[in-house]
Structure 1
Amino acid sequence: MTDTPDWGLVEYTSIRELRGPLVVVDKVEGVGWDEFVLFTLDSGEQRHGLVLDVDRGTAVVQVLEDTAEIDPLRIRAAFTGTPLRIPVGPGWLGRVCNGRGEPLDGGPPVFGSTTSAVGGNPVNPVRREPPAEPVLTGISAVDALTTLVRGQKLPVFSAAGLPHLELAAQIAAQSTAGGEPFSVVFAAMGVTHADAGFVRDALEERSAAGELVLLLNTAADPVIERILTPRIALTVAEHLAFTGGRHVLVVMTDMTSYAEALREVSAARGEIPARRAYPGYLYSDLASLYERCGRIRGLPGSVTVLPLLTMPAGDITHPVPDLTGYITEGQVVLSREMHAKGVYPPVDALSSLSRLMRKGAGPGRTRDDHLDVAAQLLAALARARQVRELADLIGQAALSPTDRRYLAFDEAFAHGFVDQRRDERRTLEQTLERAWQVLLTLPRSQLSMLPAEFLDAHAAPEGG
């Protein structure tokens, strides 16, 4: 993030109080919401802020760094008259920055030929193109059953102790758009230093190839920075996509850390809390991030958003996953049961869904048999879960031969299809062939959702 030049701005010294990460400035004139503010300390150090609220000449400003060592009697505030803007362009590719966009890789500040407001620009809904064509992640459980589509927003719901960060890094490292120009913007929020180091190492190859923008906000960084990080990531992605003609995948983790930062700032402002003490505008705030994806008619490229969030205590009705589910187009759910079986990634296929899958998979997009295979896998998996519950009640000895085949299918599905190495990139052909191998553990008579020509091509004999 670059400093805004001094255009002869009026500086205010009427600082009433410091309230956590907030500064309250009195006697201001002509100040608006989201306006960018420059603070100058007595030592000459500059800090940055954004206006949260203005009421009768009093402005509440959130400081992006922190308010430590600030003396309210010796600080000057200059309101720039514009929202926060950052330079945008291909100069971001290959860079590692903090949550404010300042370099962490030892390089110079990021420069661009133009700047964009981090709040984004509203898109006329009439100009939006429906999402189409897949983003292939190299993860079988995602590519086959919850296909990610260019322009989609598809969250990953996880819980503490599950390998969601490893999955996020693997998807960011492996994803492709069928040979078309592709980039990844990875925004990490509230991660530990160890996790930040892991992400940098896991994505080093993609970064060296000039296909990655990495923004790292650690738990030790100011809370306010956490609110800014996903907005900077999306601003960079929008320019790479709609001006640079790239298909851009934005991975944001962890959105629960973001929501908790929002809650902390809301409490500091003295706002009336809503569910679980989160602010009442949590839904609209999350929507302002998630909805910045898509394709725009007449412009090249696309922005696809993959937010990851941890569900506190594994509660999917918690406000963050609950509201995220309303806004987004499906979800990929990670399961403790699959994790306990030693399966990676521990995806619960029956709880996962991509509502736009049919827009990006099937004939002409992936493979002719893709949608039929996915439907048959899920139907068989649902039956296998019922059989397993029955076996727990009456014992496996009392099951019919067909039911026992479903138990074998359940194990084959987990260990032969979903499970893969953390550095393994499977092509779609490899994924679908594994799916067929798993399905053929069942008698042909049980594969009623697959057309006969597909069954004949894979030689599934009657009775297995």
Structure 2
Amino acid sequence: MIKEYLKIDKVVGPLVEVSNVEDVAYGEVVDIKSRNGEIKKGKVIRLDEDKATIQVFENTSGLSTDNSSIKFRDEAFELPLSKEILGRVFDGLGRPADLGGEIFSRRKYNINGRAINPVAREYPRDFIQTGISSIDALMTLIRGQKLPIFSGNGMPHNELAAQIVRQAKLGEDSDEEFAVIFAAIGVKHDDADFFRKSFIEANAMDRVVMFINYADDPVAERINTPRCALTAAEYLAFEEGMQILVVMSDITSYCEALREVSSAREEVPSRKGFPGYLYSDLASLYERAGMLKDKPGSITFLPILTMPNDDITHPIPDLTGFITEGQIVLGRDLFQNNVYPPVDILPSLSRLMKDGIGEGYTRADHPDLANQLFASYSKVQEVRALSQIIGEDDLTENDKKYMEFGRKFEDLFIAQGFEENRNINETLDLGWEILKVLPANELTRLSPELIEKYYNN
């Protein structure tokens, strides 16, 4: 039986407290009716004996403690889902934000997801092509992987996210269905319009599902946005058998919303004021990606987060690095030198890359070529540091070759146009072409057979 309570104890920011409740469950959906008849949605986030704390998804202004009523719906927060969501735009709570009308489906799914048995997971192996050379060659994205992008304020992570969504595809020989779930968390209106316009102009919108939470939307809605997006991804991957890439920007906005709600709940803060459960909360999102042994679909997760003050030891990137399988780091120095995308190669890595590249996946020379490019670019940093002390003119001829290699590597390999889409063969061939700047005896990570086949031709 649905009960209605006519008195609220107090309203604190996005939270409402009500006492003397009975038979209420954690996570239960709540309807809050204000004195002017407006109904706001919320959910139970804490139970303390007969007292319930409710997180309101909309603005709490206008809610009165005496003239408002609360109705517990006896159900969890669910989304109606079908394949009709492809090409659609939703708000942070999964409500249609375009002119396409409601999604009608008999099947509804809890946004908190379904726990995946670790034993049921399939090890990720297949390669996903982003069309961006630095990522495809040196920190390859593998189907079912969690690979975050660490960025900073003012850097072009939104442009990179849009480019990946437009260009991402499975291998050349794959005939599987592929789609992208894009979640914009706490973004400005002009950024959201940029994403939408970019996908439409590239004719990619029919395989994209967008969830948009604006910066001026209620903070409580921001906490549900990634969960709605991942629920849609789970449905398309594990119910419809599709290969899904989830791109989210910006996880930092999500974590700051979590901190704001935690503060309103008067919880004891941890590092930088974030709640002590930040790690487990982020894990509850990231671990929803992956592959299952008895299901054909997969979820690949590419979250984007901006590091406050470019600090990679900040709690958000720090904890994210523990949970995920590598990271792509955007470098401030490259950005200031007008290199796009400014992917900083040396602190970036993909821990699953070794099992998804090479013969049968990308190309036989890919692993050794990637190792050589990493090693040579690492040497470039040493030579540049030396040149700042003694001057470039006093470097040895060999070191001058490395300086030339570094310039070409950044200007031709890392840098590419916003509309430029390189396939994996073009990327690897370009890597070999740039390596020809160096003498053959410096290519210590390559076999004589590979040098003969690609370097000498």
Which bin holds the TM-score, normalised by the shorter protein? over 0.9
Q: Using a 3 Å threshold, how does the CA distance of structure 1 residues 128 and 16 change in structure 2: closer, same or farther? A: same
Q: CA RMSD in A?
A: 1.3
- 2:237/2:244 contact within 8 Å kept: yes
Task: Kindly provide the CA deviation profile for residues 272-330 of structure 1, in whole angstroms up to 9, marking residues without a partner as x.
Answer: 11111100100000000000000011111100110100010111111101111111110
Looking at structure 2, the residues matched to 427 and 208 of structure 1 have their Cα atoms a distance apart, in angstroms, of: 17
Give 2:377's match in structure 1, choosing from 375, 381, 384.
Answer: 381
How far residue 400 of structure 1 moved from its aligned partner, in angstroms, is: 1.3
Aligned with residue 218 of structure 2, among 211, 222, 229: 222
Aligned mate of 2:315, from 304, 316, 319: 319
1:48 maps to which of 17, 38, 41: 41
The reply to whether residue 131 of structure 1 matches residue 127 of structure 2 is no
Secondary structure (helix, strand or coil) at the match of 1:344 reads: coil
Counterparts of residues 35-434 of structure 1 (less than 5 Å): 35-178=28-171, 179=174, 180-205=176-201, 209-434=205-430
TM-score calculated relative to the size of structure 1: 0.96
Give the distance between the partners of 2:319 and 2:203, measured in 1 at CA: 33
**Match among 24, 27, 33 for residue 26 of structure 2:** 33
The one-letter code sitting in structure 2 at the alignment partner of 1:416 is L
Q: Which amino acid in 2 is paired with 1:19?
A: V
Counterpart contact for 1:243–1:300, Cα < 8 Å? no
Question: 1:374-433: CA deviations, max 9, x gaps?
Answer: 000000000111011111111122211111100000001001101100111111111111
Q: Is the 8 A contact 2:147 2:324 kept in 1?
A: yes
TM superposition shift of 1:209? 5.0
- Residue identity matched to 1:222: P
C-alpha separation in 2, matches of 1:422 and 1:208: 15
Between the aligned partners of 2:358 and 2:441, the Cα distance in structure 1 is 24
1:49-93, Cα deviation, whole Å (9 max, x unpaired): 111100010000000112122222222212122221111221211
In the alignment, residue 156 of structure 1 is paired with which amino acid? Answer: I
Q: Which amino acid aligns with 1:140?
A: S
String of CA shifts for 1:16-38, please: whole Å, max 9, x gaps: 11111011011111112111112
Q: TM-score, normalised by structure 2?
A: 0.97
2:436 partner letter: L
**Residues 199 and 205, structure 2, Cα contact 8 Å, conserved in 1:** no
Instruction: List, as ranges, runs of 4+ consecutive aligned residues in structure 1 with deviation greater than 6 Å.
Output: none
CA distance in 1, matches of 2:164, 2:111: 25
Tell me the distance in 2 between the aligned counterparts of 1:459 and 1:44.
Answer: 74
- 2:50 aligned partner, one-letter code: G
Judged with a 3 Å threshold, the aligned counterparts in structure 2 of structure 1 residues 22 and 206 are, in CA distance, closer, same or farther, namely farther
Identify if the C-alpha distance between structure 1 residues 128 and 206 changes in structure 2 by more than 3 Å, giving closer, same or farther: farther
Tell me, yes or no, if the aligned pair for 1:14 and 1:27 is still in contact at 8 Å: no
Instruction: Note if contact 1:406-1:442 (Cα within 8 Å) is conserved in structure 2.
Output: yes
Question: Cα deviation per residue 1:253-280 (whole Å; 9 max; x = unaligned)?
Answer: 1011000000000011111111111001
Q: Following TM superposition, by how much is the alpha carbon of 1:452 offset from its aligned partner in structure 2, in angstroms?
A: 1.7
The 10-residue stretch of structure 1 (85-94 or 303-312) with the greater mean CA deviation from structure 2: 85-94
More deviation, 196-205/409-418: 196-205
Question: Any conservation in 2 of the 1:160–1:310 contact (CA below 8 Å)?
Answer: yes
Counterpart contact for 2:357–2:366, Cα < 8 Å = yes
In 2, the alpha carbon distance for the partners of 1:377 and 1:264 equals 44
CA 1:131–1:75 in 2, change beyond 3 Å: closer, same or farther?
same
CA–CA distance in structure 2, aligned partners of residues 172 and 112 of structure 1: 27
- Which whole-Å CA distance do the structure 1 matches of 2:105 and 2:74 have between them? 21
Is contact 1:273-1:279 (8 Å) kept? yes
Structure 2 CA distance for aligned equivalents of residues 188 and 347 of structure 1: 21
Shift of 1:455: 1.3
Q: Could you tell me which residue of structure 2 aligns to residue 5 of structure 1? A: none
* Unaligned stretches of 5+ residues in structure 1: 1-7
Q: Count residues with an aligned counterpart.
A: 454
Of 428, 452, 455, 2:451 maps to 455
Once structures 1 and 2 are overlaid, which stretch shifts more, 391-400 or 207-216? Answer: 207-216
3-state DSSP of counterpart to 1:15: coil
Counterpart-to-counterpart distance in 2, 1:111 and 1:403 = 65
Aligned equivalents of 2:54 and 2:70: distance in 1?
A: 10
Letter in 1 for 2:352: L
